[in-house]
Amino acid sequence: MKLAAKISISMVLLALLATLIVSLLSGIAIRNSFDNYIDKNLSYRLELYGELLTSYYQDNNNWTDVQSVFDTQSKGRGMSTGYGRMNQGLRGTGHRMGPGMGLMMGSNTGDFLLTDLNGKIIAASDSTYIGKQAPDSAVKYSLPLKVNGDPVGTLIMLSNQRGEWESEFVSSVTRATLWAAVVAVAIALIFGVIISRHLSSPIAMLTVAAKRLAGRELGYRAAVSTGDEIGELASSFNDMAESLERNEKLRRNLVADTAHELRTPLSILRGNLESMQEEVITVSPETIISMHDEVLRINRLVNELQEISLADAGELRLNRRQVRVEELVEKVAMLSASEARQKDISFSADIPAGLPDLDVDPDRIVQVLLNILANALRYTRPGGMITLSAVPGIDEIVFSVKDTGDGIEAGELANVFERYYRSDRSRSRSGGGAGLGLAIAKSLVEAHGGRIWAESKVNEGSSFSFTVPVYKRQPG
Ligand code: ADP
């Protein structure tokens, strides 16, 4: 079922439920107060009727023909006929009765009976009772009638059924409730449709965007600008699309770069081998060294790719142990100093004495330093300078490699740690890597719980820094 239909149906059900509850509660309340009102009314009437009958007895000194009083009242002529005292009594109490209501024994009030002193019915609003004994049950009120202090009879009212006006009142309330339900359902339906449209249209837009994305239209974005949760979902969706697009671009770059990186050394090797085969060149130590260099280049690329896939799979295993900072720096300096010399770049290591030991996998941290130093050597021109330093921090050591090289544009600085990222400058020159060196360095540093960052100014130089944890002696 569509969301819009679900919302509309829920709204209608809610409106129906609310009307039902309100009508039930108001029905109970109305019935209670109505019963109350009728009870009060009846006992008041009983008294008035008693007075009416007592004055009849006083006037006649017996009950002969008393049925005429009941008949007169049953016809609804009320107290205005005959017994003026009653009329005054009613007015005196300020009680207002509608025309024709009178004492209205009968249909809407229950039956009134007059019994003599022996309990025999001598008059009744329903004349079929006359001559019978007063019933024991079904008596709602009974009022002994006295004249000059002597009992002359008893006025009895049998339990009343709901009168006509009560049922009319209840049915008019029911009618009004039904109308209220119809109006509430209509309003709920209108609001349901409006709200569901409002809610479902951004979702529909998101669905379209998701389908387009699934169809590899990676540049498509969801045009949802609401400030609610759906808006948040849309902006997360767009972020996801953005990162998918970026990753797809990087993946394409990687394939192109890897192919390119492999093609160059492979074609050099192939050319050399074919020339040797055709005896165009002779096998000399120089050709073998240059061919070996190309094999090393391919090897490095394959290693980097393997490293990055391990990091992707979360399978970088670290053999951590207590390591002296000097131990690492010596290894790195030995490997980099000769290359620096060859390129006429001055290389120095600035390591203060007394640094705490590290808690690292030494091979991995050497690799991080070598990746950063390889870049520094690659992007620094002859006559430049590279400095490796280490300073203590809180529970960590901060290593930095500073160079006086080409520097990195501010806009590119944020991307240098991304996989397969290469700046346009480095693309244009030969000898660059595949854009994996810094991404691998970042994975390795983060696997140790450290951070890595870069600062740079174009044509002034760059500085790459990272932190690694110091070794803490186990307590005891
Ligand atoms: P690569 O293996 O291609 O050098 P890296 O991930 O090591 O890849 O570096 C990514 C990019 O960062 C390089 O292509 C280069 O543009 C830039 N870069 C890294 N180090 C430096 C540096 N010391 N000086 C200038 N640019 C640098």
Q: With a cut of 90, say whether residue 361 has pLDDT above it.
A: yes
Q: Which residues approach ligand 1 with their CB closer than 6 A?
A: 371, 375-376, 379, 403, 405-408, 416, 421-423, 425-426, 432-439, 462
Instruction: Please name the residue whose Cα sits nearest to atom 19 of ligand 1.
Output: 375
Which residue, judged by its Cα, is nearest atom 2 of ligand 1? Answer: 433
What letter would DSSP give residue 129? G
Most informative mutation of 418, 426, 430 for ligand 1 (most atoms within 8 A of CB): 426
The residue whose CA is least distant from atom 11 of ligand 1 is 422
Query: Which tens digit of pLDDT belongs to each residue from 204-261?
Result: 899 999 999 999 899 999 888 788 888 899 999 999 999 999 888 877 877 887 787 7
Determine the length of the chain.
476
Cα 53 from Cα 65, distance rounded (Å): 12
Residue 313 confidence (pLDDT):
76
Q: Which residue has the higher pLDDT, 297 or 234?
A: 234
Q: At residue 422, what are phi and psi to the nearest 5 degrees?
A: -135, 135
Query: Percent of the chain at pLDDT above 90?
Result: 40
Nearest Cα residue to atom 12 of ligand 1: 416
16 Cα: distance to centroid of ligand 1 (angstroms): 68
Q: Note the pLDDT of residue 158.
A: 82
pLDDT of residue 432: 62
pLDDT for 83 equals 40
**What's the gap in Å between 244 CA and the centre of ligand 1?**
23
Over the stretch 162-190, which tens digit does the pLDDT of each residue have? 566 667 877 888 888 889 888 988 998 89
Rounded distance from Cα 469 to ligand 1 centre (Å): 25
pLDDT in tens, 271-288: 999 999 998 888 889 889
Q: How far is the CA of 430 from the centre of ligand 1 (A)?
A: 13
Quickly count: other Cβ atoms within 10 Å of residue 28's Cβ.
Answer: 10
- Look at residue 80 and tell me whether its pLDDT is greater than 50: no
Give residue 310's identity as a one-letter amino acid code: L
Say if pTM beats, i.e. exceeds, 0.95.
Answer: no
- Give the number of other CB atoms < 10 A from CB of residue 240: 12
Q: At residue 82, does pLDDT exceed 50?
A: no
Distance 437 CA to ligand 1 centre (A): 8
51/57 Cα distance (integer angstroms): 10
Q: Are 261 and 304 in contact (CB under 8 A)?
A: no
Mean pLDDT estimate for the chain? 84
Complete DSSP assignment for 332-345? HHHHHHHHHHHTT-
Contact between 453 and 383 (Cβ < 8 Å): no
Please tell me which residue, 278 or 199, carries the higher pLDDT value: 278
Q: Which atom of ligand 1 is least distant from the CA of 437?
A: 7
Which of 28-42, 285-299, 391-405, 438-452 shows the lowest mean pLDDT across its residues?
28-42
* SS3 (DSSP) at 235: helix
Domain residue ranges of the chain, discontinuous segments joined by +: 229-313, 321-469
Give dist(CA 379, CA 426) in Å, integer.
8
Confidence tier at 161 by pLDDT (50, 70, 90): low
Report CA-CA distances (Å) from 29 to 22, 33, 55, 170, 180. 10, 6, 39, 11, 18
| Type and span of the H or E element at 362 | helix 362-379
Give how far Cα 50 sits from Cα of 59, 77, 160, 224, 463, Å.
14, 17, 18, 81, 113
**Ligand 1 binding pocket mutation candidate from 347, 372, 438, 444 (most atoms within 8 A of CB):** 438
Q: Which amino acid is at 381?
A: R
- Interatomic CA distance for residues 6 and 10, integer angstroms: 6
Report the distance separating Cα 472 and Cα 467, nearest Å.
15
- Cα separations (Å) of 407 from 56, 379, 431? 124, 8, 17
Q: How far is the CA of 468 from the centre of ligand 1 (A)?
A: 21
Please tell me the CATH code under which domain 321-469 is placed: 3.30.565.10
Mean pLDDT across 6-31: 86
pLDDT of residue 407: 94
Q: Does domain 229-313 have CATH number 1.10.287.130?
A: yes
Give the N- to C-terminal CA distance of the chain in Å, as an integer: 66
The answer, yes or no, to whether residue 74 has pLDDT greater than 80, is no
Q: Counting atoms of ligand 1 from 1, which one is nearest the CA of 461?
A: 24
Q: Tens digit of pLDDT for each residue in 34-45? A: 778 877 887 888
Choose one of 416, 442, 459 to mutate for the ligand 1 pocket test, by most ligand atoms within 8 angstroms of C-beta. 416
Q: Assess contact for 388 and 426: CB atoms under 8 A.
A: no
Q: What is the pLDDT of residue 476?
A: 58
Ligand 1 centre distance from Cα of residue 369 (Å):
13
* The pLDDT of residue 89 is above 50: no
Query: What percent of the chain is modeled with pLDDT above 70?
Result: 88
Question: Among 405, 357, 402, which residue's Cα sits nearest to residue 384?
Answer: 405
β-pairing, 385-392 vs 346-350, is parallel
pLDDT at 86: 41
